[in-house]
Amino acid sequence: MAEVIVHKLNKKFDLTHVVKDVDLQIHDKEFVVFVGPSGCGKTTTLRMIAGLEAITSGDILIDNTVVNDVPPMDRDIAMVFQNYALYPHMSVAGNMAFGLKMRKFEKSEIETRIKRAADILGIGDLLQRKPRQLSGGQRQRVALGRAIVRDPKVFLFDEPLSNLDAKLRVQMRVELKKLHERLGTTAIYVTHDQVEAMTLGDRVVVMKDGVVQQVGEPLELYNTPANRFVAGFIGSPAMNFADVTLAAGNGKVWAEAPGLRIGLPEQVAHRVNGRNGGKATVGIRPEDIHIAGPADPAELCFDVEVEVVEQLGSEILLDTRAGNTTFVASVEPTLRTRVHDHLKLAINPARLHLFDAQTEAAI
Amino acid sequence: MIEGAAWRRWVFYNIPLILFVFVLLFPFYWMIITTFRPDGELYRPWNAPNYMPFWTNHPTLEHIEYLFEETNFARWMLNTMFIAVVSTLISLFCGVLAGYALARLNFPWAGSLGTMIFITYLVPQTLLFIPLAQIIRNFELGDTPWSLILTYPTFLIPFCTWLMMGYFKAIPKELEECARIDGASRWKAMVYIIIPCAVPGILSAGIIAFTLSWNEFIYALVFLSSPDQKTVPVGVTSELIRGDVFFWGPLMAGALLGSIPVAIVYSFFVEHYVSGLTGSVKG
Q: Is the dihedral of CA B158, B161, B166, B169 positive or negative?
A: negative
pLDDT in tens, A60-83: 999 989 999 999 888 889 999 988
Where would I find the H helices in A106-258? 107-121, 136-148, 166-183, 194-200, 218-223, 228-233
Three-state secondary-structure class, residue A6: strand
pLDDT in tens, B5-48: 888 888 989 999 999 999 999 999 999 999 999 988 888 888 88
Low-confidence ranges of chain A (pLDDT < 50): none
pLDDT in tens, A127-168: 999 998 888 888 988 998 999 898 889 999 998 888 888 888
| Kind and range of the H or E run holding A11 | strand A4-13
pLDDT in tens, B176-191: 999 999 989 889 999 9
Contacts of B174 in chain A (CB under 8 A): 81-83, 85
CB-CB under 8 Å, A71 with B283:
no
- Report yes or no: A216 at the B interface, CB cutoff 8 Å: no
CB-CB under 8 Å, B281 with A88:
yes
CB-CB under 8 Å, A146 with B180:
no
Contacts of A87 (CB under 8 A, 6+ apart): A94, A95, A98, A131, B175, B178, B179, B193, B196, B197
Question: Among partner residues A52, A81, A89, which is closest to B196 by beta-carbon distance?
Answer: A89
Q: How far is CA B5 from CA A154, B11, B13, B269, in A?
A: 64, 10, 12, 38
CATH architecture under which domain B72-282 falls? Orthogonal Bundle (1.10)
**Spatial separation of the C-alpha atoms in residues B176 and B185, rounded to whole Å:** 10
- Assess: ipTM above 0.95: no
pLDDT band at B221 (very low <50, low <70, confident <90, very high): very high
Nearest Cα to A192, choosing from A236, A226, A152? A236
pLDDT in tens, B164-218: 999 999 899 899 999 999 989 889 999 999 999 898 889 889 999 999 999 999 9
- Tally A–B CB contacts below 8 A: 71
**Spatial separation of the C-alpha atoms in residues A290 and A127, rounded to whole Å:** 54
Question: Among partner residues A83, A85, A132, which is closest to B282 by beta-carbon distance?
Answer: A132
More confident residue, B226 or A275: B226
Helix axes of B73-104 and B248-277: crossing angle, nearest 10 degrees: 20
Q: Are A354 and A362 in contact (CB under 8 A)?
A: yes
Q: What angle do CA A191, A195, A201 make, to 5 degrees?
A: 70
Give buried/exposed letters for A2-27 (b at 16+ CB in 10 A, else e).
Answer: bbbbbeebbbeeeeebbbbebebebe
